[in-house]
Amino acid sequence: MKRFILIVVFAATQLTCAAQCAMCRSTLENNVSQGVPGIAAGINTGILYLLSFPYLAAIIIGYFWYRSSKKAQ
C-alpha cells in the first residue's frame, strides 16, 4: 500500500520542463527573442496537456481492471 501511495504522489507531482522538438524550439526561441513569450508558454502547456492523456488512460484502465478483479473474488 505504501508503494501505491508513493507512486500516486510521484505521478501527481508536477515538474516544470521546457522540452520541445527541434522545430518547435527554434520557432519559440525566435518568438521570445522578438518579445513574444506568450507563444512559448502556450506550446509548453499544450505539450504537457497532450502528455497527460496516456497517463489518464492508464489510470482509468487500471481502475476498471482493479474493480473487475475485486468483483471476481
**Which residue has better confidence, 59 or 35?**
59
C-alpha cell at 71: 468483483
Q: Which string of b and e fits 32-58 if b means at least 16 CB within 10 Å?
A: eeeeeeeebeebbeebeeeeeeeeeee
Q: Range of 38's domain? A: 18-72
pLDDT (mean) for 5-16: 77
In-domain check, residue 49: yes
In-domain check, residue 2: no
In-domain check, residue 59: yes
Cβ atoms 20, 28 nearer than 8 A: yes
The angle at the Cα of 61, spanning 57 to 66, to the nearest 5 degrees, equals 150
In-domain check, residue 11: no
In-domain check, residue 12: no
Residue 18 reports pLDDT greater than 70: no
Position 22 confidence tier, pLDDT thresholds 50, 70, 90: confident
